[in-house]
Structure 1
């Protein structure tokens, strides 16, 4: 395509001041691919998402009639003097899919309706219309698990203490403890010797105690309900406790006697017998859902039936799209909640590929996250296809391979937080390589493998590893060194590093990109456990209680209850958050904000970045800020909601907390996700210090900067899914570059060649 500037007027931003932006002025070319670069926290997302995309969405909402607007969230005006020539914007970010147990890759990509239609038309024997193949519809779902594919069952063996009698509390749940009303149902039923240890019950008595349903109790004591019937412990728990709201302690206790597993009726397929009996060739619909996308596509392509040609054509287009964005290893029955942020973003992107709309602005946030370098070219081809259809594509990105295909580059910085927020370069990629900016210096920096690798002080053997797609492999993981586990997405890296390795080494500290199991009010200071120290300092300085400096207590803003935002539930659409008008996002009430420490309110202190706070405090607060800086999170604000962190940031924050109590073996999952190339060296230096202090570090990683700096490489593959799960290479990165074969070896050689 001709990449000369479009004659159409560009998107103009004047005086943008959202978050840390410093009166940014710029014009972006329309119908071109523009990549935004800069260190983490430099203002890229503030410009692209919080200014351009936000204003486009606000103006689009304003175009609706007043009745519709009254039922939509009110979106604030971004802090900018003027924005001109905006188009309708499609923001595709890294938000993970929700935790709905019924949501799969098939439903998230709209492939499920097409698959159901296919089987309803040509599947034999016929099972009915399309809904008959849906695990979300009563006509298709398995009646045992109601379409979930998994069931929760009470473990009867774990439920009873055989050494105790019913009088002594043989049922190991507090809600059945002696004296409770549930306990009385059993000791007063007259069906058992209440003083006899339950381990001495006959098989029939034990079966009655555990599993009876609707049994009459003819010899019951007067305290047994007159009109009541006897019900065993297991059905009573299943009926009244499994899904009931319980106190946290009672819930934890109950979960200890509950086991989860595939539904015995459908073996996890979610569908009823009629749906599973219907086949196309040798396969039923659950068989096809279980295949990786790369394996399913040729089977769909082999269906030669004019009746369903439009259906198979649409299926093939979507399946090719998933392969193009490097997701060919996923199966359609994969729970959507288990997808990483990068995978979720690429799934959403596929949904836009077949659209006929043009003239849109697509906004993407690090779409290369989680992609092996060998697959990035597929992603860049997709981005260029979106552009060539007449769309404007804006991408926030750190990957040099994505930056290289840009028509236009905007580099923000020079630093993070208060030291960023300026446009330090805009123009061509060639010009960026020559620019005196952190990004420019990174792109032209010499690249080499570690000159001298460390000698391992031992090893952890993982033997006959078969988790997921691993093929019974034996792997020697050296200790006392930095080891990189590599391979294309879906090759088995996480199965080895996060599944099998901790089994062989139970004391390993495994740090993933999953959520931090924290609430929407959680922040870095709460997660690192220094909030009490901060509140105590404010309390002593002002002679009041520490609760005034907690957004969860006395000091909370009454309007938003300390959240800083008001959440609007839009039913079937995503919730929308808007800044609280009562506290303007500060989270605290007026009295709390009247107190200061060294001239700053609690809200102003929480707005400081870790790097900025380090110079103001000592003790635990300074130590926490320093640990955040060491893991590359110095740009995060102390009071930033953990909900806003990327997967890589969440993982590095976990690492910052673990650094307080060093472990012997750390296992990390792509810790460089979201990190600027110039900051990767700092993270590698931290790993080196951890190893030199006597630890071992194992990282699952795609960034060749980290692979080149490792002492040892374990490369899995050669492909993804059923084509992976084997050890392709073990040795030093220098040896991998010299004699290695496959995607990782090729990527490392390309990286070293610059």
Structure 2
């Protein structure tokens, strides 16, 4: 049973927010009950995240940082105080978001949840032969790692042809590696070594010179009165670039590494990362490598068979962690799965399991759409875990759109009424029953249901898929209809993405619009990425009789201090980099001269500060208006034209990509969970957009869990019946009406309940 409701007489049972103005929050004041589950609702851009993450969680973290010594604080990023008059009765906040869990090759599901650490202890105590303590089974410690691949499970081979042009000399620019251009410091260390004639082509080097040029280990060389270190080009490239996480590299370095490096499974450990001794130990007939590679649902069964009293408490904790992973819909993963390969939703659920096992209580947990990527069957299990966190005495704050999660809330805070400047206000605060009666967009749509189509469209042909066997797919054959809206569904891990992305990506005429990060620098924004900035620059240039290049923050008009970024980044060797607003341009990105030029009373910085909706009024016709209309069509009216792309969520990135493709020729569009981040009221707008795409002669294939999208489809392909090796089969193909009337799958059961509610 949930705890009794907090007494209003005791103000300490409330987090009191007064005068919050972060981003678009309009002087918000609200009381949030502690040790309860509060769901924050509202359309995209209404201010939910600004209140939960930008105000409450941010101030909690800032105050915790201030408790550390000045010495420790000097190694931590400086956090500014949120724009709020007062916050009272905060507890320590833990943000459980959808950010990827980093791309460190040494981080796995097992290490991220501590399940592998517990498994190592079990093997050190029960395993035969006995080889040592838990460290002997760690691929991150010298005593356990494979010496060949150093615990990575793979080895890298450098493609020399991508590093050098052997038909050139050093003076002619033979080295093709970034930062090794003629006269650069790295180039000078090679030429200054005296080992090579800089005018001789590399193809004319002696075998000894070639070996020294590529593979000579770090060696002290005396040049005149100076000593410096020379190392072969391949040695230096490995040290400089291959030892770093790929996502932390600058784009041009990443592109070089992708060209020049091939990773292959380590032949000595067969990718297991461990040395021969660790691989030889068995518990109940299994090695630790086999346990880590098992589907987690199978590992749970294996652990329930271990009953040795010597490790009973430890195995009990390990079982609880593994059972929680299964319960939350991650049973199809394995402990050796690299963290960086998880989707945003999977990463959030892995973090959640870690906190479920925590001994801490009276903590504030803040979740960002924890149902992302979850089938309705899995949402019920996610809800159970949210309630378990609350029942441990914690305050649980959830930003969410799904009615199934809103329904379990003790308290709801609805923000709006619109997005951007039209939002940022409290429209309702109270229980779920009161929300249903409230005249807000969320209240009106909470029980809204999309009906099945009366008449489905007829396909114009079929896209055949034959023998699909990627990951867990079981030699799948399926015909995907052309000229209609097809929804591919099934529980998380059933094989949806493997089928569609694995079979359709790269086919002629297929446009895959996913949620992956958009390639670009931190100066990229919706205006630059969609091409919208071009007609805007042209309009400014024509109105002022000057060059269009002046109105590009990447060109002549850029503030010279911040190079047109608006922020000055200070990269610190021993801590996270710090970004501060440029003092010269005050964050406006342009020179003072450029800001004197105006278009209908606005300068370029003011125009880029507009939302898409505001800009549509400012540009009523022409190319700019056409781009802005497409952004509005995909539900991004609240987005700022100059907002950095790095601040966009996965769902926003996907809709931005879709907007750029809408002006193209007829095609087959593949969308991956396009309802991510969409309010209930905006789902209807998305469905209308999908209809327009199909009616214009396109084929639309959507990987989706949202029942509204399933109900609206012409055709459904359902995978399952379960996840991992329990899935990978097509369990239904047909119309939504057929699925509701005759289907026996998990999807059928939930869709039937949705349309008949």
- Report deviation, 1:471: 0.6
- Which of the residues 310, 314, 322 maps onto 2:313? 310
Q: Quick one: distance in 2 between partners of 1:241 and 1:695?
A: 46
Q: Quick one: distance in 1 between partners of 2:205 and 2:753?
A: 78
Pairing 1:449-468 to 2, within 5 Å after superposition = 449-468=452-471
Q: Which residue of 2 aligns with 1:534?
A: 536
- Match of 2:286, SS state, is coil
Pairing 1:331-342 to 2, within 5 Å after superposition = 331-342=334-345
Asked if 1:131 is matched to 2:129, the reply is no
List per-residue Cα deviations over 1:615-667 (Å, max 9, x = no partner): 21243322221111111111111111111111111111111111122342111
Residues 731, 180 of structure 1: alpha-carbon distance in 2 compared, 3 angstrom cutoff: same
- Report deviation, 1:250: 10
Residues 670, 576 of structure 1: alpha-carbon distance in 2 compared, 3 angstrom cutoff: farther
- Which of the residues 409, 420, 439 maps onto 2:412? 409
Q: Which residue of 2 aligns with 1:54?
A: 58
- Match of 2:426, SS state, is strand
- Match of 1:175, SS state, is coil
Q: Which residue of 2 aligns with 1:200?
A: none
List per-residue Cα deviations over 1:445-483 (Å, max 9, x = no partner): 243211211001111111111100001111111111110
List per-residue Cα deviations over 1:482-509 (Å, max 9, x = no partner): 1000000000000001112336x44311
- Which of the residues 159, 172, 176 maps onto 2:166? 176
Q: Which residue of 2 aligns with 1:722?
A: 725
- Match of 2:535, SS state, is helix
Q: Which residue of 1 aligns with 2:118?
A: 114
Contact 2:41 2:412 in 1 (8 A): yes
- Report deviation, 1:602: 2.5
Contact 2:169 2:201 in 1 (8 A): no
Q: Quick one: distance in 1 between partners of 2:210 and 2:163?
A: 19
Q: TM-score, normalised by structure 2?
A: 0.86
Pairing 1:551-590 to 2, within 5 Å after superposition = 551-557=553-559, 560-565=562-567, 585-588=587-590, 590=592
Pairing 1:229-240 to 2, within 5 Å after superposition = 231=211
Residues 303, 693 of structure 1: alpha-carbon distance in 2 compared, 3 angstrom cutoff: same
Q: Which residue of 1 aligns with 2:191?
A: none
Residues 465, 543 of structure 1: alpha-carbon distance in 2 compared, 3 angstrom cutoff: same
Contact 1:176 1:183 in 2 (8 A): no
List per-residue Cα deviations over 1:292-312 (Å, max 9, x = no partner): 221111212212222222331
Contact 1:123 1:278 in 2 (8 A): yes
Pairing 1:672-687 to 2, within 5 Å after superposition = 672-687=675-690
Q: Which residue of 2 aligns with 1:507?
A: 509
Q: Which moved more, 1:540-549 or 1:716-725?
A: 540-549
Q: Quick one: distance in 2 between partners of 1:56 and 1:240?
A: 43
Q: Which moved more, 1:355-364 or 1:121-130?
A: 121-130
Residues 124, 596 of structure 1: alpha-carbon distance in 2 compared, 3 angstrom cutoff: farther
Asked if 1:523 is matched to 2:520, the reply is no
Q: Quick one: distance in 2 between partners of 1:353 and 1:4?
A: 22
Q: Which residue of 1 aligns with 2:5?
A: 5
Q: Quick one: distance in 2 between partners of 1:652 and 1:673?
A: 10
Q: Which residue of 1 aligns with 2:271?
A: 268
Q: Which residue of 2 aligns with 1:228?
A: 208
Residues 531, 184 of structure 1: alpha-carbon distance in 2 compared, 3 angstrom cutoff: closer
- Match of 1:460, SS state, is strand
List per-residue Cα deviations over 1:110-167 (Å, max 9, x = no partner): 2232222222222222333322222222332223322222233367xxx9xxxxxxxx
Contact 2:513 2:669 in 1 (8 A): yes
- Report deviation, 1:708: 0.5
Segments of 5+ residues of structure 2 without an aligned counterpart are: 176-199, 216-231, 242-248
Q: Which moved more, 1:275-284 or 1:61-70?
A: 61-70
Q: Which residue of 1 aligns with 2:281?
A: 278
Contact 2:75 2:574 in 1 (8 A): no
Asked if 1:610 is matched to 2:612, the reply is yes
List per-residue Cα deviations over 1:139-197 (Å, max 9, x = no partner): 32223322222233367xxx9xxxxxxxxxxx787622355689999xxxxxxxxxxxx
List per-residue Cα deviations over 1:689-738 (Å, max 9, x = no partner): 11111111111101000010000000000000010001110000111111
Residues 540, 137 of structure 1: alpha-carbon distance in 2 compared, 3 angstrom cutoff: farther
List per-residue Cα deviations over 1:395-453 (Å, max 9, x = no partner): 11000000000011111111111111111112111121222221122113243211211
List per-residue Cα deviations over 1:201-258 (Å, max 9, x = no partner): xxxxxxxxxxxxxxxxxxx999966893555999898656667679999986885575
Q: Which residue of 2 aligns with 1:196?
A: none
Contact 1:92 1:364 in 2 (8 A): yes
Asked if 1:752 is matched to 2:755, the reply is yes
List per-residue Cα deviations over 1:97-118 (Å, max 9, x = no partner): 2122222111222223222222
Asked if 1:79 is matched to 2:83, the reply is yes
Q: TM-score, normalised by structure 1?
A: 0.86
Q: Which residue of 1 aligns with 2:426?
A: 423
- Match of 1:716, SS state, is strand
Q: Which moved more, 1:513-522 or 1:716-725?
A: 513-522
Contact 2:98 2:347 in 1 (8 A): yes
Q: Quick one: distance in 1 between partners of 2:240 and 2:87?
A: 51
Residues 283, 687 of structure 1: alpha-carbon distance in 2 compared, 3 angstrom cutoff: same
